[in-house]
Chain A
Amino acid sequence: MRKVYHNIIQIAGNVITVEADNVAYNDLAEVSSGDGNTSLAQVIRIQDGKVYLQVFAGSRGISTNDEVRFLGHPMKVSSSADLLGRVFTGSGEPRDGRPAIHDDLINIGGPSVNPAKRIIPRNMIRTGIPMIDVFNTLVDSQKLPIFSVAGEPYNELLARIAMQAEVDVIILGGMGLKHDDYLAFRNTLDEHGALSRSVLFIHTASDPVVECLLVPDMCLAVAESYALQNKKVLVLLSDMTNFADALKEISITMEQIPSNRGYPGDLYSQLAARYEKAVDFDDAGSITILAVTTMPGDDVTHPIPDNTGYITEGQFYLRNGRIEPFGSLSRLKQQVNGRTRADHRVIMDTMIRFYSDFKETLEKQSMGFRMSAWDSKLLKFGKLFEEKMMDLSVNIPLEEALDQGWQILAECFDATESGIKTDLIEQFWPKK
């Protein structure tokens, strides 16, 4: 029988302090109040006989004589195949009214993968979205955030990619998710028959803030165990900004010196520890991570998107309901787009070049400069490009998107104006 402690000597923010001995760092504890409410808590600091615990359900209502019982192990999650089709809370309790699962428990937040056991990613993930497939190809084992602002359809985009990606398992981690968004996710998965190969860890906006700290680790621990069983796993995280804000809250409570706009100095390491779980294993499966990062004030230099950008392998900018071609980047696209179709790279480069020229022309137009014949061609191109490629409702396979690209070019320019190499022109330029 484990010892029970009654002497909570401090309650500050969501952190409580008890005097206890023989407690291991990172261990879990149960805090039970007189009325039978129980909350999980985790050891985040030990100092001279005092143990600091972050209480996942929040400290509201905790009384100084509540019971604290240490469980003698850190946070664990089941890695059993029974998880598929289930929905859990941020601390791993069932959210769907079905029984809890306690088989094959594994630790969360495990050690990092030995770089010597990673391989260079080589498989494209098809999404049916031309702005991704053609211009910033998503690659197996990539970690990629969607930078966005509140109000943009980022969760729809996430759900859509998940539905179309050919993966074995989808794991959704919701952090501070609106309840509507959670239901929308669940329904989308259900409609497409994907729920049976999905696991959901959902922390909603009405749940205690600290609970969302566990979500990425839970998702990634489960993902890792599936990937080691040769599965291709796609992890969706929405929204990592809430995760970072929860980190900020705890660190301020613990009186840590903040580094930038109140965020803790280890924000980069904390985010990296999660994103770096994306991996293509030598001789096993893979983990791909797509995460939403909402940028406070649409400011990419804000510490959260800034640190994220330094960690991830590119980013998708979602703005005005479209994936922006300029800020978006897939650092791994070079690994795959040379092997899809001979015209992939040239369509990618040419169309982006013309679109950037189009933007300049727009600027000139708005400043009242005279429009030349060339400018009119660019204006026509820009309009078609936005309509037929950038619009998020466009849903076509890569090959069709490339053909579409040639059509648009041919509609606006003649072949020599395109600046494309002659052999490709002969092969692909649409014949009138």
Chain B
Amino acid sequence: MSETKTGHITGINSNLLTVEFDTSVEQNEVAYALLGDLKLKAEVIRVRGKKADLQVFESTEGLKEGDKVEFTGDLLSVELGPGLLAQVYDGLQNPLNELAEKAGFFLKRGIYLDPLEDSSTWDFTPIAKVGDKVHAGDRLGSVPEGIFTHYIMLPFAFRGTWEVVKIVPAGTYRLRECIAVVRNENGVEREVTMTQKWPVKVPISCYKEKLLPTESITTQQRIIDTFFPVAQGGTFCTPGPFGAGKTVLQHAISQHAEADIVIVAACGERAGEVVEILREYPELTDPRTGQSLMSRSVIICNTSSMPVAAREASVYTAVTIAEYYRQMGLNCLLLADSTSRWAQALREMSGRLEEIPGEEAFPAYLESRIAGFYERAGLVVLNDGSKGSVTIGGSVSPAGGNFEEPVTQATLKVVGAFLGLSRERSSARRFPAIHPLDSWSKYKSIVDAKKLAEARNILRRGHEVDQMMKVVGEEGTNIDDFVLYLKSEFLDFVYLQQNTFDEVDAATSQERQIYMFDHISSILAQKFVFDDKEQARRYFLELRLILTDMNYAPFKEEEFKVLEQKMNEKISERAEKDA
């Protein structure tokens, strides 16, 4: 390659630099602004004439007009390889723990560390043989990474057909040691190590085809899995005003979801929330694997006070890592909290670029960016026929809790499930505060569709009765309507609400959900005989108590069975005898 391309600063406006370049630049390439010994990472986001606009991923304090800028010719990339799991990165894939060791309490600017530890060694087992013809994404070998088999693949950037010229025998190798040599049709030979780089804003597309997501991912949250399911490889969003429990819900999903790999992108939110993950996940055990939760997680955190431009990069860094593990045939779940902050980062830059604003000053390309991000989810058939998936869940923080705003609306257009959190439910302490009437999902539920439709119907009609009672009072409501209302409240309390802080209730397995939903459906369908409303109210309160206790009892164990018996007796107490 030729020598480094350079330029010099002609304008500084917060984190936006205008740079006059000497030869040429590439859109979205990475550049460094030189401030004494410090190099500040930046990305080219617009070129006009001989001037380029760069967004800087750090504070620009101290830069001067005329300061030198070096262009790298590379797009903003992440390093992929064994050792990503259990890591905590900032939005640019700087490992935060190592950074803390090096720089102390604060995130000093201009320090960029290797995302993967150079000195780490891995037990490599070859899969490909000399003479094999391989394509990008094909497996050359594997290393064990925790409980996973981490496949070392032909780098995704290698186009065309390559022949394996050399591959090392099984053994222990350093991370960046050459493990294979490949040659393409033009005779170009290249070395392959266990790591590779990939530009974050480009989807990894080394697969045969994308399938329609059908199977649902079990989040162990009853209201989601039963009422508003999310498919493996699907997308969902959780918009809600502040204090409605978005982050608690996301944490619950990240802990209990039955995915192989969970990637949490804390994007522009409170640092305290990330600290809870950082400090608690290593202590929590994943019941499915017996390992610590951390060993299946990657955490990307670019909290609200960290540089804004890196906030935008952080969601892409996260989704690229998810796609990488998908290429190994794993099911990955990406949780981004919150995509609104990412959209706001776009808005800030757009404002500095003096682009013509769209609604609420968001840039006109907001919708296509959001769509492009969620489109990176999917269930795919890989080159070798195995399947892998990326499921994306984004929380949205609409201004004023109003869902009519551009980010929520743009998100709703492209996601498969909408789990709308409501202030009304959170104030009533009904958690998770997902609104059962407003939310929707396009995916298939784990329970019987007919029974589900009936349950939904009861929720809706119960709500209508509730509204009516506010006007005419209890006296003016007939007993049938009143019982309907009690049934809908019953369903809400014993099934939709779930206590995420209780050991048992926090996670409900798919089997248990189907089992309990059957019970509840039959109660909802049951006709009861009551003398008066007061009797009906007390009856449902007692029944509710039994079922709530059941939720807190380990499934199908002694206590559970006793309560189940009690429940059946309670039902027959008031059940209408067949004529």
Contact = CB atoms under 8 A, between A and B. Distances in A.
Contacts of A311: 270, 304
B273 to A, nearest CB: 9
A306 interface: yes
Q: Which 4 A-B pairs have the closest CB atoms?
A: A301-B400, A272-B304, A276-B305, A259-B361
B73 interface: no
Contact of A276 (B64, B303, B361, B400): B303
Interface in A261-304: 264-266, 268-269, 272-273, 275-277, 279, 281, 284, 300-301, 303
B63 to A, nearest CB: 5
B11 A113 contact: no
Interface stretch (B54-62, B149-157, B219-227, B413-421): B54-62
Contact of B96 (A45, A115, A303): A115
A117 B103 CA distance: 11
A141 B271 CA distance: 12
Nearest to B344: A268
A332 to B, nearest CB: 8
Contact of A273 (B243, B305, B362): B305
Contacts of B13: 45-47
Given A266-B348, A276-B304, A310 B242 contact: yes
B271 A118 contact: yes
A45, A48, A259: most-surrounded residue (chain B CB, <10 A): A259
Given A118-B275, A256-B351, A277-B305, A111 B106 contact: yes
A275 B304 CA distance: 10
Nearest to A263: B361
Contacts of A121: 272
Interface string B499-538: 0010000000000000000000000000000000000000
B308 interface: yes
Contacts of B45: none
Contacts, number: 173
Contacts of B109: 111
B100 A117 contact: yes
A189 to B, nearest CB: 29
B127 interface: no
A47 B275 contact: no
Interface in A67-123: 74, 109-121
B203 interface: no
Contacts of B354: 257
Contacts of B178: none
A93 B371 CA distance: 51
Contact of B399 (A26, A109, A110, A303): A303
B105 A113 contact: yes
B116 to A, nearest CB: 17
Indicate the size class of the contact surface on chain B: 35 or more
A379 interface: no
Given A25-B61, A25-B62, 20 more contacts: A23-B65, A25-B12, A26-B61, A45-B11, A48-B11, A112-B271, A114-B96, A114-B103, A115-B96, A115-B271, A117-B105, A120-B279, A269-B345, A272-B268, A275-B305, A276-B271, A306-B400, A310-B397, A311-B304, A332-B272
A110 B104 CA distance: 14
Contacts of B546: none
Interface string A345-362: 000000000000000000
Contacts of A284: 105
B97 interface: yes
A260 interface: yes
A117 B104 contact: yes
A269 B275 contact: no
11 contacts: A24-B63, A24-B64, A114-B96, A116-B96, A120-B279, A228-B105, A257-B351, A257-B361, A265-B361, A269-B348, A276-B303
A369 B351 contact: no
Contacts of A114: 96, 99-100, 103-107
A115 B274 contact: yes
A46 B361 contact: no
B313 interface: no
Contacts of B427: 326
Contact of B308 (A27, A110, A269): A269
B242 A309 contact: yes
Interface in B336-360: 341, 344-345, 347-348, 350-352, 354, 357, 360
Contact of A74 (B61, B357, B473): B61
Interface in B248-268: 268
Contacts of B301: 115
A22 interface: yes
B contact patch SS: mixed
Interface in B441-464: none
B64 A23 contact: yes
A352 B484 CA distance: 28
A49 interface: yes
Contacts of A397: none
Contacts of B63: 24-25
Given A74-B62, A116-B97, A111 B243 contact: no
A112 B106 contact: yes
A266 to B, nearest CB: 5
Contacts of A313: 270, 272
Contacts of B305: 112, 269, 272-273, 275-277
A193 interface: no
A309 B241 CA distance: 9
B161 interface: no
A430 interface: no
Nearest to A47: B11
A259 B350 CA distance: 11
B285 interface: no
A21 interface: yes
B306 interface: yes
B563 to A, nearest CB: 17
B42 to A, nearest CB: 13
A269 B344 CA distance: 9
B64 A25 contact: yes
B106 A265 contact: no
B83 interface: no
Given A47-B13, A111-B106, A259 B59 contact: no
Nearest to B501: A334
